[in-house]
């Protein structure tokens, strides 16, 4: 494996849809409410978000190996630190570089949006480190799911919506929740797949805390909760915003069925890929619904 390919593997490109999905949904919402789009804001927000997520993924790669969560028995995709392709220090250094890049791309956004955007950027980077590092790593205390709902849902949508419109409203809150739940499906499936190995190293993910049955129910809730949020759009007579995303419903049912019928194993890697596609499809359909 070449170094470039290994770094691409470490960045976990298949998970980066979690950064793209809130951008798509927010742009759709903003256009649907009649605002114009300043595309440079969208581009810089996307680049900054990608860099934060890659940095977080790299810290996770290094810290899970250091803490013993990633071993040769791992059933998920291979990690570069665990395989010895790169050292712990190398991976942490590159993670820091991506966080610095995120800050660089965020500078124009801070100039545009002021202190609220600065606060979001600083906290997002700090939480990227804190996800698996620091004195109280979020992922090791069952807080990873909440982290994703907040930062890949409410904050990602709310921050971009504010940058594009100079306001924040209930519509942005609802979309933030819908996208936050969708993005959390990935981490919930990932954690349920690793439930047995995580128990051995005292990594108390939400899946470990809830157990197998509870973890499955949580995933089922996350898959279908965005459609519950759709009732808000019905209440304000934005019917297509509710109807169009329903086209993604069959895929959600399929993923949920497979999770409930399959024991945690490497088979879950396929469902991770499907859930990534599911969130992307839903966000596109949601954006389309706002345009009708």
HEC assignment per residue over 64-102: HHHCCCCCCCCCCCCCCCCCCCCCHHHHHHHHHHHHHHH
Q: Which residue has the higher pLDDT, 24 or 139?
A: 24
Q: Minimal CA–CA distance to 129: which of 62, 59, 50, 63?
A: 59
For the chain, what is the mean pLDDT?
Answer: 93
CB 19 within 8 A of CB 53: yes
pLDDT tens digits for range 21-67: 999 999 999 999 999 999 999 999 999 999 999 999 999 999 888 87
pLDDT tens digits for range 62-105: 988 887 666 666 666 678 888 888 999 999 999 999 999 999 99
CB 170 within 8 A of CB 266: no
High-pLDDT (> 70) share of the chain, %: 96
With a cut of 60, say whether residue 1 has pLDDT above it. no
Q: Burial of 90 by CB count in 10 Å (0-12 exposed, 13-18 middle, 19+ buried)?
A: middle
Q: How far apart are CA 262 and CA 260, in angstroms?
A: 6
Q: How far apart are CA 58 and CA 66, in angstroms?
A: 12
Q: Which pLDDT score is estimated for 69?
A: 61
Q: Which residue has the higher pLDDT, 22 or 129?
A: 22
CB 201 within 8 A of CB 68: yes
- Dihedral sign (CA 189, 194, 198, 199): positive
Average pLDDT estimate for 217-236 = 96
Q: How far apart are CA 134 and CA 143, in angstroms?
A: 14
Q: Which pLDDT score is estimated for 29?
A: 98
Q: How far apart are CA 282 and CA 247, in angstroms?
A: 8
CB 207 within 8 A of CB 191: yes
Q: Minimal CA–CA distance to 18: which of 227, 134, 190?
A: 190
Degrees to nearest 5, angle at CA 49 with 18 and 144? 55
Q: Burial of 28 by CB count in 10 Å (0-12 exposed, 13-18 middle, 19+ buried)?
A: buried
Q: Which pLDDT score is estimated for 136?
A: 84
Reported in sequence order, the residue ranges of 18-59 that DSSP labels E, i.e. its strands, are none
Degrees to nearest 5, angle at CA 259 with 250 and 7? 100
pLDDT tens digits for range 161-218: 999 999 999 999 999 999 999 999 999 999 999 999 888 888 899 999 999 999 999 9
Degrees to nearest 5, angle at CA 255 with 250 and 259? 145
Q: How far apart are CA 6 and CA 15, in angstroms?
A: 16
Helix (H, G, I), strand (E, B) or coil at 132: coil
């Amino acid at each position: 494996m070449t170094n470039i390919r290994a770094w691409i593997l470490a960045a976990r490109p298949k998970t980066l849809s979690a950064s793209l999905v809130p951008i798509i949904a927010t742009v759709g919402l903003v256009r649907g409410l009649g605002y114009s789009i300043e595309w440079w804001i969208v581009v810089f927000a996307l680049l900054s978000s990608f860099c934060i997520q890659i940095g977080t993924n790299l810290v996770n790669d290094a810290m899970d190996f250091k803490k013993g969560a990633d071993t040769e028995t791992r059933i998920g995709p291979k990690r570069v630190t665990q395989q010895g392709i790169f050292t712990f220090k190398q991976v942490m250094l590159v993670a820091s570089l991506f966080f610095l890049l995120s800050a660089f791309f965020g500078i124009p956004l801070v100039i545009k949006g002021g202190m609220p955007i600065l606060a979001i950027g600083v906290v997002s980077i700090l939480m990227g480190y804190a996800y698996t590092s620091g004195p109280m790593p979020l992922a090791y205390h069952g807080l990873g799911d909440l982290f994703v709902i907040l930062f890949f849902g409410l904050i990602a949508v709310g921050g971009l919506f504010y940058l594009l419109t100079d306001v924040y409203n209930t519509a942005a809150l609802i979309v933030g929740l819908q996208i936050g739940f969708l993005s959390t499906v990935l981490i919930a499936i990932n954690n349920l797949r690793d439930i047995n190995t995580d128990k051995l190293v005292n990594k108390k993910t939400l899946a470990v805390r809830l157990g197998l049955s509870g973890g499955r129910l949580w995933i089922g809730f996350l898959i279908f909760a965005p459609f519950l949020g759709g009732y808000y759009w019905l209440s304000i007579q934005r019917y297509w915003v509710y109807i169009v995303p329903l086209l993604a419903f069959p895929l959600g049912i399929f993923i949920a069925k497979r999770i409930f019928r399959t024991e945690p194993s490497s088979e879950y890697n396929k469902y991770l890929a499907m859930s990534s596609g599911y969130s992307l499809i839903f966000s596109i359909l949601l954006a389309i619904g706002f345009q009708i």
